[in-house]
Amino acid sequence: MTPPLSLNSIAERLQGYDPQALSAKHVNDFLAQLVQPVREQDSVALMQAHGRILAQDVVSPISVPPHDNSAMDGYALRGSDLKTDRPSLLKVVGTALAGTAWPGQVQAGECVRIMTGAIMPTGLDTVAPQELVHVAGDTVQVPPGLLQAGDNRRLTGEDLMAGQPALRAGTRLSPAACGLLASLGLPTVPVWRRPKVAYFSTGDEILSLGQAPREGAVYDSNRYTVAGMVQALGCELIDMGVVRDEPAALEQAFRDAAAQADAIITSGGVSVGEADYTKAMMQKLGDVAFWRIAMRPGRPMAVGRISQGERAAVLFGLPGNPVAVMVTFAAFVRPALQQLMGWQAPAQPLLKAKSTETLRKKPGRTEYQRGIVSTNAAGELVVSTTGNQGSGVLSSMVQANGLIVLGHTQGNVAVGDEVEVMMFDGHL
Ligand code: AMP
Ligand code: MG
């Protein structure tokens, strides 16, 4: 494996890198070079594999389905026996049930009663659904023009052919992917170890739940939003609560976190003019850059690596404001953690929706506004904002179902203009 790049060498490779005015694109590009995927494998039972990331390509050991079989309850026949100008009359010579092969031979002009999933008897290639035919005694009448040779037959391997790749390494095991692996008869799967992500909040005004309210203090909401976002992605959370704004406490917390975790997320204490020790301690213990990002909300952010012995953890020092934490997580931390997980995540498509409002926007920064996407009477996607866009207003994150992303060069938006929206998809 290639050794990790220093922050300086990553910065040198990025055209136009300016830590005092970084574009959102620069941040993503920088993090893509900083983060190295966890490369340890676990083997897990398929029932425990949901949400995990596949560590190796899976080649189908068998074909699915393993035989040609019927897609309907009805009558299996030879397509060549079908008449196009009059009803076809066929004699029923047996019944093929799912789970066992019907052993007989079928002559021209004969058919076999067949159930869904049953193996197609030798020589037969078509199934007439039972709703389509008239049965009289042991004779079946198929009306002309309703059926073509090959209808209602599932072919061997039409889902997966033995020897062909079924899933690629880096795939997230969705319910559908788990079902697919089960259809191949695979009881265990190789997955990447889940990254461990340590989180703590900083700030002397931050109260843990259970503490009595006091003047000037606020309850720690970031701990809960970050915990939810980290776990929704499929990372393991190391929850470290609130760390006091004292050098010794911060140093201990960073060292503990780096000793166990693959990534450390903190909130608070990274803005300019902060009176606290968080930045100083990051600088002392790690290779850390302090950025001002051309975005709203969420301008300040610290990024780097903190080493402890042999290990190094990636650091994401997020701002303190609750909405800024969620937005910087969605825009930057989430893709970086996906890379850490080994997840070859398909690019998340942004939706385009018509704005129902005028939006004020200055070119030269990326803005993320909380939006509610819906469909109007004409069936078009439209988006409105949730109102108060203050970076501390969490209730507007709850109301929103997506973030309106107003790109770096974009100016004001008029009513009816199309804007891009990042949908929450249950992750935020
Ligand atoms: P800071 O980035 O430390 O300047 O914090 C910015 C704002 O976010 C301040 O109003 C803080 O009180 C608030 N804040 C910081 N951390 C938290 C937290 N963990 N939960 C809720 N609010 C916070
Ligand atoms: Mg603070």
Identify whether the C-beta of residue 112 lies closer than 8 Å to the C-beta of residue 160.
no
Identify the pLDDT of residue 192.
Answer: 98
- Asked whether 272 lines ligand 1 (CB < 6 A), one says no
Q: How far is the CA of 223 from the centre of ligand 2 (A)?
A: 15
Q: How far is the CA of 36 from the centre of ligand 1 (A)?
A: 29
Contacts of 191 (CB under 8 A, 6+ apart): 41, 42, 43, 44, 49, 52, 53, 54, 55, 173
Q: How far is the CA of 322 from the centre of ligand 1 (A)?
A: 7
Query: Coil, strand or helix: which one is 294?
Result: coil
Q: How far is the CA of 222 from the centre of ligand 1 (A)?
A: 8
What atom of ligand 1 comes closest to residue 270's alpha carbon?
A: 2
Residues 205, 207, 213, 218, Cα dihedral to 10°: 50
- Residue 366 pairs in a beta bridge with 295
Q: State the DSSP code for 242.
A: E
Identify whether the C-beta of residue 396 lies closer than 8 Å to the C-beta of residue 54.
no
Contacts of 272 (CB under 8 A, 6+ apart): 292, 300
- Asked whether 267 lines ligand 1 (CB < 6 A), one says yes
Ligand nearest to the CA of 266: 1
On the question of a cis peptide bond just before residue 297, with omega within 30 degrees of 0, the verdict is: yes
Place of tokens 């990636």: 314
Ligand 1 atom 14, closest CA? 320
User: Which of 206, 391, 395 for a ligand 1 pocket mutation test, highest count of atoms within 8 Å of Cβ?
Assistant: 206
Helix (H) or strand (E) holding 229: helix 222-233
Classify burial at 141, counting beta carbons within 10 Å of its beta carbon; exposed 0-12, middle 13-18, buried 19 or more.
Answer: middle
> Among residues 400, 386, 397, which one has the least CA distance to residue 356?
386
pLDDT in tens, the chain (428 residues): 677 899 999 999 999 999 999 999 999 999 999 999 999 999 999 999 999 999 999 999 999 999 999 999 999 999 999 999 999 999 999 999 999 899 999 999 999 999 999 999 999 999 999 999 999 999 999 999 999 999 999 999 999 999 999 999 999 999 999 999 999 999 999 999 999 999 999 999 999 999 999 999 999 999 999 999 999 999 999 999 999 999 999 999 999 999 999 999 999 999 877 667 999 999 999 999 999 999 999 899 999 999 998 889 999 999 999 999 999 999 999 999 999 999 999 888 899 999 999 999 999 999 999 999 999 999 999 999 998 888 889 999 999 999 999 999 999 999 999 999 999 987 88
- Asked whether 218 lines ligand 1 (CB < 6 A), one says yes
Measured in residues, the chain has a length of 428
Q: How far is the CA of 203 from the centre of ligand 1 (A)?
A: 7
Identify whether the C-beta of residue 408 lies closer than 8 Å to the C-beta of residue 363.
yes
Q: Could you give the angle at which helices 222-233 and 334-341 cross, rounded to 10 degrees?
A: 40
- Asked whether 335 lines ligand 1 (CB < 6 A), one says no
The separation between CA 326 and the C-alpha centre of its own chain, rounded to angstroms, equals 17
What atom of ligand 1 comes closest to residue 278's alpha carbon?
A: 3
Place of tokens 């800024």: 324
- Asked whether 203 lines ligand 1 (CB < 6 A), one says yes
Within 10 angstroms of residue 259's Cβ, the number of other Cβ atoms is: 15
Question: For residue 102, which amino acid is it?
Answer: W
Radius of gyration for the chain, computed over Cα atoms and rounded to the nearest angstrom: 30
Q: How far is the CA of 268 from the centre of ligand 2 (A)?
A: 5
Q: How far is the CA of 269 from the centre of ligand 1 (A)?
A: 8
Question: For residue 253, which amino acid is it?
Answer: A
User: Which of 222, 270, 292 for a ligand 1 pocket mutation test, highest count of atoms within 8 Å of Cβ?
Assistant: 222
Identify the pLDDT of residue 274.
Answer: 67
325-358 residues labelled b (16+ CB within 10 A) or e (exposed)? bbbbbbbbbbbbbbbbbbbebeeeebbebbbebe
Half-sphere exposure (Cβ direction) of 387: Cα atoms closer than 13 Å: 6
Helix (H) or strand (E) holding 283: helix 278-285
Place of tokens 């970031």: 222
Identify whether the C-beta of residue 195 lies closer than 8 Å to the C-beta of residue 262.
yes
